[in-house]
Amino acid sequence: MKRNLGPQARPGPKIDTTLKGFLGPKFPFPLLVKLSSTTMAAATANTTVPKHSPFTSSLKSSIPTSKPFLPFSTIPRKLTPSRSLTISSSLSQPNSAAASVTTNAAPKSGFVSRYAPDEPRKGADILVEALEREGVKDVFAYPGGASMEIHQALTRSKVIRNVLPRHEQGGVFAAEGYARSSGLPGVCIATSGPGATNLVSGLADAMLDSIPVVAITGQVPRRMIGTDAFQETPIVEVTRSITKHNYLVLDVDDIPRIVSEAFFLATSGRPGPVLIDIPKDIQQQLAVPKWNQPLRLPGYMSRLPKEPNMAHLEQIVRLISESKRPVLYVGGGCLNSSEELKRFVELTGIPVASTLMGLGSFPSSDPLSLQMLGMHGTVYANYAVDKSDLLLAFGVRFDDRVTGKLEAFASRAKIVHIDIDSAEIGKNKQPHVSVCSDVKLALKGINKILESKGAKLKLDYWAWREELNEQKVKYPLNYKTFEEAIPPQYAIQLLDELTDGNAIISTGVGQHQMWAAQFYKYKKPRQWLTSGGLGAMGFGLPAAIGAAVANPGAVVVDIDGDGSFIMNVQELATISVENLPIKILLLNNQHLGMVVQWEDRFYKANRAHTYLGNPSDESKIFPNMLKFAEACGIPAARVTKKEDLRAAIQKMLETPGPYLLDVIVPHQEHVLPMIPSGGAFKDVITEGDGRTKY
């Protein structure tokens, strides 16, 4: 999904320091640089706003931060009713006051620089101190020619620790894992050219899943930009559509402001990745930094959502009171409002279905939890949405893997959509009532109304809940066991039991990812780290690194598949050197399991390059994953029989430091239930596997 929605969708004119939004992506890069350098004097913004750090508890702002944000048009979308029901929308109006207010950023309290106030220092040192002032403690940086100065400056920092990845993609995925598990922005650094382009998958992943990441890249010196210099890539142009915003620094004096803006943009509204590209000569240039410069984001600030309109919240409460079969559909936008969501459910008794990204926002083991909905969601979650008369869509984007056939999705229901990004409202499914706001603020307002009305509302959904409980009994999540073979679902159930549901779980992408979503019972937000929108294989291992760095002392488990694991297997070296206590539960079926499942179902089981073992000797496990662990000094074991699995997982969890457990599972297993792509609830598949012909 392409996020850039035209000039109005961008944070504002940044001619002096960024190329984004000025000329089209096909314009020659050298001309972009020339234009931006010759028009700097004319690029004075009219508005400045106070700056703050997302890392500090002193952050006191009315700006919503619950769900991902993309700047949106100042013209509210006119919603078209699909039935005879009043349509109302509270898309934010532009704040005219924002265009005339100038406020300087407040200085960081308690920060002590290692330099005298008037002491010149390199641009790279200014950059590192700017990161320190934002509260950054950990970065994931891989050095190269164009970023050496930054790494030299990092060695002079007493605050920032660099966790050295073994590949830049590992670095950006680790930064994502850091951000997803902590709620703080993750920071990664790479050199120019191939180093920068190796960040692309991670930036796209952060964009689609709305994860706050600040990526910093070295660039060739300014005089060499556009000459096809060694390791030169126009990374600003490359990442234009997969970042929330990006910068090319052309003046060393802009570094403090740009870093502040980057962190503000990454974490405010709908979070997302921001890239800063810094030429090497800027890194080397001596300057005296001007801290606490005002931010220059007038357009962006005017488009941030405001507090929800109470009249719209009253209308939502009225719809709830009139409903007989309501259901909550919650996504990643609810991760920061878990307490408010739980209070709302307590007040109303409405059952909760979660998206893949929303897992953990409501406890999976709660009697009112329907667990995950969508393509591989539970039958009862999809049944609830299909039969509902009111769908409360909070912090979601009606993704195709949730809705299937749009016309059939919640076709009987009135739809209420609350989201921080107005571009998502009405994009795929037209709501009857919409509120463009931080879900946290909206839920607080709704809860306040519910508490004030109390028993007068007479909410009674007992019959509806009993109907759904019957579906839970009739169609539970289950699996079959074949002799001594280990069902992969059983391995995850055991892990859930032995960790008491308290581990931070990362995954790769494929069957193991879906089983981890189905069979591990998440208790709280930020326990579940997975590549949702992009579906990037190789995500699990480096994401676990980021989670372990951000959460020392936590149990971090990478549930991975052999296909995903090997894509970033080099990060075992990082785990070993840093002695990160990451446990790897490798569900090894020697195949690309999810593609095999589709081959079984839709291609008459014709294998088209989905076998990952050695075709000349299929009796042996290939490659031997234990050897990868051994090469990096990480203890490892293999288990092939179900009866031995519990003891093997227990040993993995009890062993200090990192550990790899290679669990051999049958490749014939299918992820069920399954609604085929583009299908509806009536098309749900609940039986069968690769042992059956279709």
Just list the catalytic residues.
168, 230-231, 280, 594
Residue 102 DSSP symbol: B
Q: Which long-range contacts does 311-314 make (Cβ < 8 Å, 24+ apart)? A: 312/88, 312/90, 312/433, 312/435, 313/435, 313/442, 313/445, 313/446, 313/449, 314/449
- Phi, psi torsion values for 246, nearest 5 degrees: -150, 160
Q: What is the largest CA-CA distance in the chain?
A: 76
Q: Cis (ω within 30 of 0) for the bond into 673?
A: yes
CA-CA distance, 579 to 16, in Å (whole number)? 44
Q: Which of 405, 431, 374, 364 is nearest to 79 (CA)?
A: 431
- The whole-angstrom distance between residue 529's C-alpha and the CA centroid of its chain comes to 8
Q: Which of 607, 612, 575 is nearest to 592 (CA)?
A: 612
CA-CA distance, 668 to 589, in Å (whole number)? 9
Q: Are 566 and 552 in contact (CB under 8 A)?
A: no
Q: Indicate the SS3 state at residue 4.
A: coil
Task: End-to-end CA distance of the chain: give it in Å, rounded.
Answer: 33
Residue 43, amino acid: A
Beta bridge partners of 416: 392, 433
Q: For every residue of 111-153, which 3-state class applies, written as one string?
A: CCCCCCCCCCEEHHHHHHHHHHHCCCCEEEECCCHHHHHHHHH
Q: Are 403 and 429 in contact (CB under 8 A)?
A: yes
Q: For every residue of 366-413, which 3-state class applies, written as one string?
A: CCCEEEECCCCCCHHHHHHHHHCCEEEEECCCCCHHHHCCHHHCCCCC
How many helices (H) and strands (E) the chain has is answered by 24, 21
Beta bridge partners of 529: 506
CA-CA distance, 586 to 652, in Å (whole number)? 12
Helix axis angle for 148-155 and 123-133, nearest 10°, is 60
Helix axis angle for 123-133 and 255-267, nearest 10°, is 40
